[in-house]
Amino acid sequence: MPGQQRDTERDFDAVIVGAGLAGLYMLHRLRGMGFSTRVFETGTAIGGTWFWNRYPGARCDIESLEYSYQFSDEIQQEWEWTERFASQPEILSYINHVADRFDLHGNIQLETRVEQARFDEAENRWAIRTNAGHEYRARFCIMATGCLSCRNTPDFKGLESFQGESYHTGDWPHEGVDFHSKRVGVIGTGSSAVQSIPIIAEEAEHLTVFQRTANYSVPAQNKPLDPAVQSRIKADYAGFRERNSNSFFGTLGDFENAGPSAKAISPEERDRFYEAAWKRGGVPFLNTFDDLMIDKESNDTAVDFICHKIREIVDDPEVAERLIPRQTFGCKRLCVDTDYFSTFNRPNVSLVDVSENAIEEVTPSGLKLADGDDFALDAIVLATGFDAMTGALLAIDPHGKSGVTLSEKWSEGPQTYLGLAVSGFPNLFTITGPGSPSVLSNMVPSIEQHANWIADCLGYLHETGHERIEATRAAETAWVAHVNEVANGTLYPKCHSWYVGTNVPGKTRVFMPYLGYAPYVEKCNEVAANGYEGFELSR
Ligand code: FAD
Ligand code: N01
């Protein structure tokens, strides 16, 4: 607890793992409360997602004025966003600006990967070991390791033998990559690919896109941010944040709700709403009608609209058919693009379907498919995503009570109480852990909500003289059941996606995020107000 640390270089009130948006704000809160705190970060600098993902076209798809911290009105007022959806360099500058303003750097140890964390039951402290072989101790261990930070690199035979250059979108070279006069292959057609493909296509001599699953994408309609719009929002930023936080996803964006059901109106009227949502751009397309992610027939109306758009945009009907997604709309993360589908009209771009004819191996000179077709390439871009939500936590694989590891505990999929804590792992917290709205919300408010909840909880433990907090098994079981029940009432878990972990071979199929930001926040507040209901507190 504040002031109780022993060896100030090795023993802390709290250790935070990760220096992205979550770790930084958590540090700010705990330091403000007088807790000795150390952040460990693998990267050579802070920023998390926005430090690592520097691929061409990387940007957020939640509006910049929403995808930002709200804890400091000063920062909120002084930071001027330049685009509707901020680019990676701008978000990274913003994060650094916040860290500089609050003087956070001194408590962050960079280039340090946490490799192991063990709970010492006699001492009620975590022992945390880093890649340098050093051990640190802390009363509390807070995992701010990110939902989308553990890269998924498929185990392609021969990948190391490739004589050209290969890159993962989630670990992009800081100096950038020049694709001029290169034959480039992009593997994947998720959000990272959809953002980078149009830009790589402009540079490359030839770009081949290897697509396993066609994806739905709607235009971003990104544009410079109108200063008048920015000033209007800043004039009542608190009200703007409040309205967003009362919404289902914790974000509203530029959005018009067309009613409870896509089936309740005529096809012509419905298409007018879809057309308006398409022109406004962005993920709020998903919210056009309330039942799009609940009722398959309604969902199919969005499918029809988008497929019609793809056929309209793409000149070659055969290519258009290959780009038409076959799965339920929205059950894979909706992509948001700038000129994605029209890129396939370029003469230097080709699309290869690897759904049936899989990538068999990487050869020294390119890629070979199962049927023996091969492609000569100078560069390969792995836009193959992440071992989402659990990957970074299981890479550390904390040892809880009686030495039980998190991977043992989660052998049938993640089990948490509120996505914040795990029974059997006292004094361990996860920011935006599985079972919380996280990736199905605007992540920045979700991060702040979790960090605030954890900080308040630690303050409460300190005031009430408790040294240990642990989620009860009963509360956890009930929460996991509730997360599943809510998800199963929707179409979200219906297809193959990283939401259910099926993008990583061998991962248990479980729908991981919690659906419903506003009800979730209410539940967390209730738990705290009831003296941390569902947790066991001890001295
Ligand atoms: P991260 O930013 O992932 O930070 C976690 C940090 O922990 C990383 O720096 C990592 O190196 C470090 N770390 C992990 N394990 C260890 C370890 N063992 N030891 C030491 N350090 C470790 N969300 C939205 O809401 N809207 C968007 O528009 C949006 N766009 C995105 C675009 C991209 C390209 C990606 C990949 C994600 C996007 N997200 C978006 C999700 C995004 O991840 C979150 O919004 C947010 O940045 C997560 O912050 P974080 O601090 O929780 O995690
Ligand atoms: O990763 P993904 P991502 N052979 O998992 C394919 C956020 N984000 O980095 O669909 C061939 O979505 C895989 O195919 P399939 C956002 O939350 C946001 O693009 O599994 N292909 C898929 O096409 C997003 O959802 C933004 O069949 C293989 C692709 O690789 C999340 O991060 C931008 C393969 C991976 O797509 C992850 O996005 C970027 C194989 N062996 C990211 N293995 C914004 O716009 C995988 N694939 C805000």
Rounded (5°) CA angle 23-95-500: 55
- The span from the CA of 214 to the CA of 352, in Å, is 11
Please state the CATH superfamily assignment of the domain spanning residues 153-215+332-385 in this structure: FAD/NAD(P)-binding domain (3.50.50.60)
Q: How far is the CA of 390 from the centre of ligand 2 (A)?
A: 16
Q: How many CB atoms lie within 10 A of CB 392?
A: 24
Q: How far is the CA of 188 from the centre of ligand 2 (A)?
A: 6
Residue 388 near ligand 1, beta carbon < 6 Å? no
336 burial type by CB count under 10 A (0-12 exposed, 13-18 middle, 19+ buried): buried
Q: How far is the CA of 212 from the centre of ligand 2 (A)?
A: 10
SS3 160: helix
Assigned CATH topology for domain 11-46+104-150+387-538: FAD/NAD(P)-binding domain (3.50.50)
Residue of minimum CA distance from atom 18 in ligand 2: 191
- The span from the CA of 293 to the CA of 490, in Å, is 6
Tokens 């709309």 sit on residue: 329
What number of helices (H) and strands (E) belong to the chain? 16, 19
Which of 49, 212, 249 most suits a substitution to test ligand 2, by most atoms within 8 Å of the C-beta? 212
Residue 381 vs residues 56, 166, 348, 513: alpha-carbon distances, Å: 11, 6, 16, 28
Q: How many CB atoms lie within 10 A of CB 181?
A: 10
Rounded (5°) CA angle 185-190-193: 40
Nearest-atom index, ligand 1, CA of 148: 43
Ligand (nearest to CA of 380) = 2
Q: Which residues line the pocket of ligand 2, CB cutoff 6 A?
A: 60-61, 148, 154, 169, 187-193, 195, 210, 212-213, 333, 336, 354, 359, 383-386, 439, 498, 503
| pLDDT tens track, the chain, 539 positions | 554 546 778 999 999 999 999 999 999 999 999 999 999 999 999 999 999 999 999 999 999 999 999 999 999 999 999 999 999 999 999 999 999 999 999 999 999 999 999 999 999 999 999 999 999 999 999 999 999 999 999 999 999 999 999 999 999 999 999 999 999 999 999 999 999 999 999 999 999 999 999 999 999 999 999 999 999 999 999 999 999 988 878 787 777 788 999 999 999 999 999 999 999 999 999 999 999 999 999 999 999 999 999 999 999 999 999 999 999 999 999 999 999 999 999 999 999 999 999 999 999 999 999 999 999 999 999 999 999 999 999 999 999 999 999 999 999 999 999 999 999 999 999 999 999 999 999 999 999 999 999 999 999 999 999 999 999 999 999 999 999 999 999 999 989 999 999 999 999 999 999 999 999 999 999 999 999 999 999 98
Question: Which of 270, 269, 283, 274 shows the shortest CA–CA distance to 221?
Answer: 283
Residue 476 near ligand 1, beta carbon < 6 Å? no
Ligand (nearest to CA of 110) = 1
Residue of minimum CA distance from atom 25 in ligand 2: 333
Q: How far is the CA of 216 from the centre of ligand 2 (A)?
A: 12
Domain chopping of the chain, boundaries:
11-46+104-150+387-538, 153-215+332-385, 247-329
Q: Tell me the β-bridge partners of 524.
A: none
Which of 150, 443, 447, 517 most suits a substitution to test ligand 1, by most atoms within 8 Å of the C-beta? 443
Topology match between the domains 11-46+104-150+387-538 and 153-215+332-385: yes
